[in-house]
Structure 1
Amino acid sequence: MKLGVVGLPNVGKSTLFNAITKAGAECANYPFCTIEPNVGITAVPDERLSVLGKMYNTKKITPAVIEFVDIAGLVKGASAGEGLGNKFLSHIREVDAIVHVVRCFEDSAITHVENTVDPVRDIETINLELALADLETVRKRREKAEKNIKTGEKKYADEAAVLLKIEAALNEVESELAGMDENERQYFMQELGLNSSGLDEVVSAGYKLLGLISYLTAGEKECRAWTITKGTKAPQAAGKIHTDFEKGFIRAEVVSYAELVKAGSLVAAKEKGKVRSEGKEYVVEDGDVVLFRFNV
């Protein structure tokens, strides 16, 4: 799973990327300092691991990780090829979610491609370019589906109908962005989370945005967070540790992190009846502390 860091040129994307991942991407005070995407991996903040580490006197703590991609800046007209826009938009298509970096500070020493600092305008520029790029992609696919309708296969007619609805919705996105008043713009900024701050919040929010959760394993050798998609059942979650765990899955012994910490130890949690035995249909929850039983 990848999170793409996007925005106008020279707004601090690589600076944020470096702060989060410590990857050392080049930062400079000029547009298009980044051409090819930089990739970095960072730990997902999870204080539960530290608590479990102390409880189990563990030798090693291994957090979940997430991948960030520092993508070169987009400019107005990117969807039409401005500023190597087509190349940069193709990089965005390869990520699973987007982190939009917006400049909200004044500094005459740092250039801005529009010469003035206006975060609302900049948000609209990027969102409009992304919507226009999506619109073009949908339009081409719809036209292809419509040409294939003559083959007589119903799936092409269904696809064309769905794509026509998506195309209409994207056209309306485009119209809304162009017609926002000041109050709507302020609401738009809040909806995009521009009032939040903190690198950990960015990482955690990105993890959640991708639909990911962590279950935990704990012991003297290691406390570790394992990344799974929300809704994953126990055997598939076990497979994240090793394929043999999934193939020979028998059951999962599960206690919630909160109940384990409240009890003070696994033994105490068992005595209180908080450790459950779950089968193949159990959907693993975020914060479950799990021991898998298997046989191969």
Structure 2
Amino acid sequence: MLRAGIVGLPNVGKSTLFNALVANAKAEAANFPFCTIEPNVGVVSVPDERLNVLADISTSKQVVPARVEFVDIAGLVKGASQGEGLGNQFLSNIREVDAIVHVVRCFENDDIIHVAGSVDPARDIETINLELVLADLGQVEKRIERTRKQARANKEAQAELAILQKLAAALNEGKSVRQIDLTEEEFEVIKHLGMLTAKPIIYAANVSEDDLATGNEFVEKVRGVAAKENAQVVVISAQVEAELIELPEADRADFLESLGVEEGGLKSLIRATYTLLGLRTYFTSGEKETRAWTIKAGMSAPQAAGVIHTDFERGFIRAETVGYDDLVNSGSLGSAKEKGLVRSEGKEYIVKEGDVMLFRFNV
């Protein structure tokens, strides 16, 4: 299961958001820096209305959604790359996740202290991004020293050294690795370094209840920063999400409607994180269950089968496949077959988003 790390300055709403994400998680949320020391981990279901539609068609007894793991990481402060606060621990925790959800405070509240004394999303984002850049730069510089010695007699080391020097130049300018124009081959060479600023990022603009529907000037500042990185911004209210999980399911829609929104930002954040990680969904559906399976974009049919069980990949024969829309429009699998919409796909088939699949394999 792929992991997304929730990061941000202290007191921006990370743990409150995490609690809402995992609903029954018990991450401590309190009004002092470094409230979260050890990272909290929770598994979150990915909202997908297609599951219930397929379950109705197959009269399934249960529905099993796709899942993403979220990690609530300790708040970072200026100087973290030099070990300030919980810097070293914070950075090592980020290194272990696949993507970053950067929570940015976009609300005023005199009762909740800000480590810098005022709310300024652009400054706060720069603080964290700079620490991540400095951490990466330190790592690259150490690698350059080791590689330079090897490069005297090794062509592979020479190639790596050229890439490392390219990284160092950009990082010294304050750029993140994801902003550097690297070829796939170049990225593969430095992939083992686990660069922090190479990880894909979503900015979660945390607003007050009153600004959830419309946003505010702080949110626009976040969007301005994100646009330079081609990053996505999701407007959320950790306060609203915390209130929602305390309400009965039947009352949640009315509460959101009273705020002028159809759904909280939480579902959008989960979906956006799932997409950011380069994930795709295919389905299996029958009387026993309808289940969403998570794969990486570009996976072949045997690889997708292997997500269910390694035996499925080893003994793969073919995949009986129908697109989600084709199945729903047909009303049943039998009808889809009559219309010639169910295909027999072999080992070279690349699974598409929303495919409904039945695998044939040798044991």
Same fold, judged at TM 0.5 (above): yes
- Would the aligned equivalents of 1:120 and 1:189 in 2 still touch at CA under 8 Å? no
CA apart distance, 1:174: 4.8
Distance in 2 between the 1:93 and 1:245 partners?
Answer: 32
Question: Once the two structures are superposed, what CA deviation does each residue of 1:226-272 show, in whole Å capped at 9, x if it has no partner?
Answer: 11111000011111111221111110010010111111111111111
The answer for the alignment partner of 2:145 in structure 1 is 143
Structure 2 counterpart of 1:187, from 224, 230, 247: 224
The alignment status of 1:285 with 2:324, answered yes or no, reads: no
Superposition pairs of residues 1-296 of structure 1, within 5 angstroms: 1-22=2-23, 23-150=25-152, 152-174=153-175, 187-190=224-227, 191-194=230-233, 196-197=235-236, 198-296=265-363
Identity across the alignment (%): 63
Distance in 2 between the 1:290 and 1:3 partners?
Answer: 28
Aligned residues: 289
CA apart distance, 1:84: 2.0
CA apart distance, 1:172: 2.4
- Would the aligned equivalents of 1:105 and 1:117 in 2 still touch at CA under 8 Å? yes
SS of residue paired to 1:223: strand
Question: Once the two structures are superposed, what CA deviation does each residue of 1:66-109 show, in whole Å capped at 9, x if it has no partner?
Answer: 00010001111111111121221111111111000000111111
- Would the aligned equivalents of 1:132 and 1:174 in 2 still touch at CA under 8 Å? no
Distance in 2 between the 1:204 and 1:185 partners?
Answer: 20
Structure 1 112/84 Cα, relative in aligned 2: closer, same or farther at 3 Å?
same
SS of residue paired to 1:102: strand
The answer for the alignment partner of 1:180 in structure 2 is none
Letter in 1 for 2:31: N
Distance in 2 between the 1:20 and 1:146 partners?
Answer: 46
CA apart distance, 1:189: 4.1
Q: Which stretches in structure 2 are left out of the alignment for 5+ residues? A: 177-219, 237-264
CA apart distance, 1:220: 0.6
Q: Which stretches in structure 1 are left out of the alignment for 5+ residues? A: 176-182
SS of residue paired to 1:50: helix
Letter in 1 for 2:104: V
TM-score (norm 2): 0.77
* More deviation, 242-251/282-291: 242-251
4+ runs deviating over 3 angstroms: 183-186, 189-197
CA apart distance, 1:184: 8.7
Distance in 1 between the 2:222 and 2:162 partners?
Answer: 32
TM-score (norm 1): 0.93
Distance in 2 between the 1:138 and 1:129 partners?
Answer: 14
Structure 1 98/185 Cα, relative in aligned 2: closer, same or farther at 3 Å?
closer
